[in-house]
Structure 1
Amino acid sequence: MNEIGLDSAGEGTAGRREAVLDVVLALLVEKGAAALTMTAVARRASCSKETLYKWFGDREGLLTETVRWQASKVRAGAYDRQHLDAGALRESLEGFAANWLTVISSETSVALNRIAIGQAETLGGIVLANGRFAIGERLKPLLLDARAAGLVAFDDAEEAFRTFFGLAGRDVQIRRLLGDRFAIDAAADARRAVDQFLALYGATKTPAMAG
């Protein structure tokens, strides 16, 4: 049991909130959405339900923060926008793709997405807004800075992102959701995706050619 002593001194810190979210992820993987109640989370986290309601509002708020916490693990990578060159762009894109592949193929992401599919009316929007859409907004600034630096050419950042997203993810997520536990090489898949993306959108391509 993952006991984190949330009712001890220091209650309310970011680290303790994140520990609760990790408990939620563990419960989703182990027992599914039906077992995810405020009582179950409080028991596993060794805290009071009052603490959970104070921090997250209700079960939907708790799930929303859990999705955000899982999505925050996908990062675009650090780069100096004033000195962005081809090498730095490739490194950032590969880092993003490898990181994203690792996250979406994890048991926790699979559990979250299965819940969202099964409860699309209430949870689908939460997962989209805090997962896919938030991640897109995290990477687009890199693409726009790369365009400004003359490294890539495209007319629409969303369309460019969707292309990269598809090249990186391929059928990984759907196969994971359907129970296929095939092995992935995130680093190798990320390099391939970046090669293909730059072949489409590299500075030698015009936006019309990329489209």
Structure 2
Amino acid sequence: MNALEQQEEEFSTRQGEVLDAVLSLLVEGREALTMSAVARRASCSKETLYKWFGDRDGLLTATVRWQASKVRAGNWDRQKLDASSLEESLRAFWANWLSVIASRTSIALNRVAVSQAGTAKSNLGAIVLANGRFAIGERLKPLLEAGREAGLLDFDDAEEAFRTYFGLVGRDLQIRLLLGDRVELTEAERTREAARATKQFFALHGARASQT
């Protein structure tokens, strides 16, 4: 477990329920996301919210981390990593990501973040970037680097490799979801999409491919 995942494990069951309440309010979109609204929905006091999360931005940061924590690189052993286990871990990671990103909660969270980005209204856009997209990159890059150390992958920069992979998996999915396209991926379709992107990534960055 890396440092990011360890931080996410620190949320208690009750705190997780509060963060789920925040996500529910975002999905419904019927009232402003205030500390009072969250306290009512989660049946707790505002004092508790301030104690646990600090201010509203702290609560939003925790909420994004909570949602992003559902995307994990799984269990893999750097010392025993081979082509099969690397591909399996990568496919599982991205199939999991597709499931999370297409959920109603992620769509609602991203829509609010986009609508408020670049304004003085909220820091949610920066919070989503830092604790969503960037945090997920930091979660996967150690696996990519382990693949390179094992002689299975070839790339110069892990961040660039991750961005390439991210584009292969996501393609136009997020923008379509944000614009209201009713994209519904079954588990089998998510698995197939992750396998397709993984095959394409290995065609670009597989060690054997780079030597031809």
**Same topology, TM > 0.5:** yes
One-letter identity of the residue aligned with 2:27: V
Counterpart of 1:22 (choices 12, 20, 23) is 20
| Distance in 1, Cα, partners of 2:132 & 2:35 | 23
Change (3 A) 1:141 1:13: closer
Report how far residue 183 of structure 1 moved: 2.1
Tell me how far 1:13 sits from its aligned partner: 6.8
Q: 3-state DSSP class of the match of 1:206? A: helix
CA distance in 1 between partners of 2:103 and 2:91 (Å): 18
SS in structure 2 opposite 1:204?
helix
Give the aligned length. 196
Q: Secondary structure at the match of 1:35?
A: coil
Distance 1:18 1:125 in 2: 22
Pick the aligned partner of 2:193 from 166, 184, 189.
189
Q: Deviations over 1:60-85 (max 9, x none)?
A: 11111101110111101111110100
Aligned-pair Cα RMSD in Å: 1.6
Matches of 1:164 and 1:196, distance apart in 2 = 9
Work out which of the residue numbers 78, 81, 97 in structure 1 matches 2:78: 81
* 8 A contact 2:204–2:210 mirrored in 1: no
Q: 1:111 to 1:13 in 2, by over 3 A?
A: closer
Query: Which 4+ runs in 1 deviate beyond 6 A?
Result: none
Identify the match of residue 120 of structure 1 among 117, 122, 131: 117
Q: For 2:154, what is the secondary structure of its paired residue?
A: coil
TM-score by length of 1: 0.89
Residue 203 of structure 1 and its aligned partner are, at CA, apart by 1.1
Amino acid across the alignment from 2:83: A
User: Whole-Å Cα distance in 2 between the matches of residues 186 and 198 of structure 1?
Assistant: 18
Q: How does 1:30-179 map to 2 (within 5 A)?
A: 30-31=28-29, 34-121=31-118, 122-179=123-180
- Unaligned residue ranges in structure 2 (runs of 5+): 1-9
Q: Which position in structure 2 is the counterpart of 1:205?
A: 209
Larger radius of gyration: 1
Distance 2:112 2:35 in 1: 17
Ranges in structure 1 where 5+ consecutive residues have no aligned partner: 1-11
Other structure's SS at 2:66 match: helix
CA 1:13 to 1:96, structure 2 compared with 1: closer, same or farther past 3 Å?
Answer: closer
Within 1, Cα distance between the matches of 2:70 and 2:139? 11
How much identity, in percent, do the aligned residues show?
68
By how many angstroms is 1:189 displaced?
0.5
- 1:124 aligned counterpart, secondary structure: helix
TM-score under structure 2 normalisation? 0.89
